[in-house]
Chain A
Amino acid sequence: MKRRVVTLFGAAGLLGLVLGAWPPPTLPEAHAEEGGQCALHEIMPIERQLRRASYALRGHPPLLAEYDTIEGLDAIPDATLDDFMEQDSFRTQMRRFHSKYLWPNPTGAQLYNVGITVSSFNIAPGMKAWDTQFANRRREYRGGNGSHRCQNKPQTDLQPSYQLGDRPVCEVKGYDSIQVANAVENRQWCQEGWVLIQPYWEPDPNNKVKVCAFAAQTTESWTTLDEPTDPNDPTKVDTLGEDLNGDAVLDPGEDVNNNGFLDSSGDYDHDNQLDKADADGDGQPDVARCSYLQQDVKSRAGCGCGPRLNFCSQFSHMVPIWISMQEQFLRLVDEHTSGVDGKPAKAYSQILSNNRIAMNGPLLHFYRYWATSAGLGGNTYNALHTGDAPLPSDSAIDFNATEDWTVFERQVPHAGILTLPAYTLRFQTNRGRANRFRIAFMDRYFEPPSVYEQDNCLSETGDLTKKCVCKGCHAVLEPLAAYFGPVAERGSALLTDFVPQFEGSKDGKTAVAQCRDQWKGNDAILPLHRDIVGNQFCGVLYTGDYDPPPPIAHRLTPLYFAADHPWIEDNYDAGPAGLVSLATTNIEGKTYNLLAQATVKHMFEFVLKREMKLDPTTPDSEHALMEQLATDFTNSDDLKSLLKALVKLDTFRRWP
C-alpha cells in the first residue's frame, strides 16, 4: 500500500514527464504492482474514502476533526454520510449537479424593450439627471431632432407646470434643421424641467435623483388626442414627420395657443384648445394605456416611465433578474434534493411537476412592469397568462428585495423546472428544450448520421421528419418538441389564452391570419398587446408564416405539419407533462424508467468522475449495477438514497 500511494499520487507525479523521465514504462508495466495485483482494485484507506465521499457529497474535503472520527474504521458510517447530506454544502453540491446537466443560466435573454431604456446624462457640469435614452422617444417628448433633454430647472418653475392633467409643459427653445427625404425641415423643439424621484433601483427614499419631467410621468394611461391624423390609418394619430396644418412645422411641437410652450396635443379644430378624444361619444376623454410597447404607438408623449421609473430599465438591471431566475430554478431543485426549511426532500421525479414558483423582488418587478411591456422585436415574450400565479399588489413589489422570496402556485401546463424561465429562456426553442430534456432526463443524445440517408425520405420538403439526413434526428425530436408547444418560444410565457391552430390554412386564411384573429378577439390580452404584438407574435412564435412553406426548413415549427402528423396535436395538448410521463413510465420489460436510468448514470459520473461501463459483453460491465440502482431509485424516488448507495459501492471506495 505504501508503494501504491507513491505510485498513483507521488508528489512529483504529473510533472515527471516534464522533468525529463523518458522513456516511460509500458502501460501494463505501469499498472502492475510488484505483487501482481493492480492498485486500482484495492480499497482506499478509510481517510481517503472519507475525503472522496466528502467531495462527492459536499464539494470539499473533510475537516481534520472529521478524519479523527473515523480512524480505525473499515467503512464510513451511515451516520456520517447522513450528516454530510444534511449540511448546506450538500444542497450546493446538488445545485452543481443540476447545473451541470441543465445549464440554468438565462443570461443574455433580452428582458425589456430597449426603447424604454433610461440613462443618466450631465444636466450641468458634475450634475447627473436621468432621461430616456433613445432619440425617438426624446423627439416625441421635445420635438426637434431628438437630441434634446430637459433643462436644469425644476418643472415647477415652468408655469403652468402641467397641462392635459399631468403632461409636463415644455418651453420652446428653437428649431432644428432636419433632412427629411430630399428636403430640409425646420423642426421646433422645447425643453421641460426635472423632477426629483426615488427610482426603483434606489432603496433609500432619501436618495432621489433628477429625472426629466417627461420621463418621470407616472401615469399608466393617457388621454388620447382628438382627431385622427394619420393619413395611412384613420384610427391613429401621427406625432412625427408630418405637418398637417401646413405651417412648415412638423407636428406636434407646436405652440398653437401661443403660450410659449410646445403643445403636447394638437388643436386641429382651431378652437385654441388642446384636443381630447371622445371617440365613443360618452362626453369623457378617451383613455389609452401606456403599454410601453414601442413600435406602433404613435403618441407616447403622455407616457413616461411610470412611478419610480418602474417601466423603464437599463441593461445592467437585467443582471439581478437573470441571477434571480437562476436562483428560482435552483430553489426548486433544493426542494427535491436536500429539502428546504427543515423539511425532507420531496420525491425527486416531482421536480418535473412541482408547480411552486419562488419569486423575489427583482422577479416580481420584472413580471409586473417589464414582461407586459416588451415587444417582440428583440425581446423575449414573458407576459403572464392563464396558468401563471397572479401578482401581488404593486405596494408589495420592491426591486431591491433580492433576498425576499415568496412562493406562489402555478397551474398546468406548467411542469416544474421545465417551465421556469431559467429553462425556457436558456433553451429558447421547443426543439432545444426537448433535446436538453432528453439528455438530462432520458440520457439520450443525438448524433448526426454517418452516412447520407436517402431511403424512405424526401430530399425537398419542409417537414424535417421526412427530409433526408434531417429525419434521422428530427423524426424523434419533432414529436418531443411539440410537447413544449404551449410555451412561447423565445420566451417563457404560456400560450394558454390562445386556441392553437394546427392546419396550414383554413377558410382561405393562413395559419398566421387565423392567429391574428385570435389575438384580436381575446379579452385576456391588453388592447394594445392585441393590436401591436399580434402580428409579431403570430409570425414569430405561433405557427410561422409558411404559406407556402419555405423551401428550406430552417424556420420550421412543429405545428405547421400537424395535418400530416396527428401526434403533434396530441403532444401539444399534453404539454410538457406528457414529455415527463415518457421519462417516468417504466421502460418496457424493465423495472425502472428512463428518468431513473439517466439519474443513476449521471450521478454515478458526478461522484465517481467517470461514466458507468455499460457494455454487457465486457467482464467489468456495470450494466447490472445500473439496473439495480435504477430500479431502487424508481421505487424510492429519493436522491439521497441513491447517493448513499453510490458512495458505499466498492467501486467508489477503490483507488480511482
Chain B
Amino acid sequence: MRYRAWCGLAVGLLLTATSVVACSSDDESAEGSPVARDDGPNKKPGSATEVNLPTLSRLTVDELQLTVPLIAGMNENAQWIQWLVNKGAGPVDAYSNEGLGKMMGRPDFVAVTNEATAPDTLYVKFARDMAREVCQSIRKSDETRSGNFTLWSQAPVDSAASDDEITNNLNRLILRFLGLRLQAGDDLLETYRQVYLAARGSATDSDAQKNGWQGVCMALFQDPAFYLH
C-alpha cells in the first residue's frame, strides 16, 4: 500500500508544480508584427514546459459523462446506466449541467473557460459517490437478466465460482474499466482479487458473490487508471 501511496503524492506534487511554474515573456516590441521578434517557443501564461514536468489529468466531465454509461452498460429497459442525482423535478444525469456538471468544472466558455482537471479531493469524493450509485445500478440490472451480465459475465453467482472463473471475470472487468489485459499472477489482478474476496466475505452464497463483484466495480471506478490520462 505504501508503494502505491507515494504515487498519489507524486501526482499531486507534479500537478502542483505545474501550476506554479514561471514562464518567460514574449518580446512584442515590433509594431505591426503579430509574432515575437524571436521565432522560438512562445510560452503561454502558466506554461509548464520550462521544467518539462509530465502531468496527469483526470477525465473531463464530458469524458466522464460518456464513459460511465459505456462502462456500465444498459439496464433492463435497454437504457444506458447513468449516475443520477436528484434535482428539483427528479433525477438527472449527474454529469449534465443540470446535475453536477458545472460544479465539477465543465466550462461554459463564458464565465468558466478552462476545465481544471487535477484529480482533487472534490473529484475523488464525487468519484466515490458515482461508483457507489452506478455499481448498485449495474448489479440491479444484472439481477434482472438471465445472461449477458456486466458484473459477473465470466463467473457464476448462483453457485460457488472457481478461482479460474473469478480470475477470468476479474480480467474481463479490468479490461472493460481500465483497458488492461492482464496475465495470471499480475500484481494488479491479485490486488483486485483481494478486493473481491474482502467484499464477498467468507460466505459464498449468491448475495455474497454479488457483493464481491459490486465491490470490485466500485474499486475500478475509483482506480486512477480509470480516471487519469
Q: List A residues at the B interface (Cβ < 8 Å).
A: 2-3, 5-21, 24-25, 27, 30-31, 40, 45, 47-48, 50-52, 55, 59-64, 67, 71, 89, 96, 99-100, 103-105, 107-108, 426, 438-439, 442-447, 449-450, 465, 471-473, 475-476, 479-480, 567, 579, 582-583, 587-590, 594, 609-616, 618, 620, 623, 656
Contact = CB atoms under 8 A, between A and B. Distances in A.
Contacts of A9: 7, 178, 223-225, 228
Interface in B56-97: 56-57, 59, 62-63, 66-67, 70-71
A107 B70 contact: no
Nearest to B52: A613
Interface string B154-186: 000000000000000000100110111111011
Contacts of B114: 100
Contacts, number: 242
Interface string B33-57: 1111001111111011110101111
8 contacts: A2-B186, A6-B187, A8-B224, A12-B8, A55-B229, A450-B25, A473-B28, A583-B34
B195 A30 contact: no
B192 interface: yes
B183 A12 contact: no
Interface in B195-220: 195, 219-220
Contacts of A31: 10
A445 B44 contact: yes
A598 B55 CA distance: 21
Contact of A30 (B6, B186, B223): B6
A45 B34 contact: no
Nearest to A70: B181
Q: Which of A13, A62, A67, A439 has the most CB of B within 10 A?
A: A13
Shortest Cβ-Cβ A-B pairs, 7 listed:
A16-B5, A21-B5, A9-B225, A51-B179, A10-B4, A614-B41, A103-B109
A2 B183 contact: yes
A79 B223 CA distance: 31
Given A7-B3, A60-B67, A465 B31 contact: yes
A17 B8 contact: yes
A587 B35 CA distance: 10
A6 B4 contact: yes
Contact of A14 (B8, B34, B36): B8
A445 B224 contact: no
Given A14-B124, A19-B5, A587-B39, A60 B66 contact: yes
Q: Which of A52, A63, A475, A567 has the most CB of B within 10 A?
A: A475
A451 B54 CA distance: 31
A490 B197 CA distance: 64
Given A6-B188, A21-B2, 13 more contacts: A6-B4, A10-B4, A10-B7, A12-B5, A25-B6, A61-B179, A67-B175, A67-B179, A100-B114, A107-B108, A445-B44, A445-B45, A615-B52
Contacts of B26: 444-447
A626 B67 CA distance: 31
B10 A27 contact: yes
Interface string B5-34: 111111111000000000101101111111
B25 A613 contact: no
Contact of A8 (B7, B39, B70, B182): B7
Interface residues of B, number: 82
B191 interface: yes
A607 to B, nearest CB: 10
Contacts of A623: 41
Contacts of A50: 179
Contacts of B49: 611-615
A99 B109 contact: yes
Contacts of A447: 23, 25-26, 45
Interface in B107-155: 107-110, 113-114, 117, 119, 121, 124
A11 B222 contact: yes
A61 B67 CA distance: 6
B6 A3 contact: no
B23 to A, nearest CB: 8
Contacts of B54: 40, 610, 656
Contacts of B63: 55, 59-60
A11 B192 contact: yes
Contact of B108 (A25, A105, A620): A105
Contacts of B35: 442, 444, 587, 594
A30 B10 CA distance: 8
B181 A63 contact: no
Contacts of A656: 54, 56, 228-229
B181 A67 contact: yes
A16 B7 contact: yes
B225 A594 contact: no
Contacts of B71: 61
Contacts of A10: 3-4, 7, 188, 191, 223-224
A479 B32 contact: yes
A620 B59 CA distance: 26
Nearest to B43: A445
B66 to A, nearest CB: 4
Contact of B28 (A8, A16, A40, A446): A446
A558 B186 CA distance: 66
Nearest to A89: B66
B154 to A, nearest CB: 12
Contacts of B56: 609, 656
Contacts of B59: 55
Contacts of B121: 18
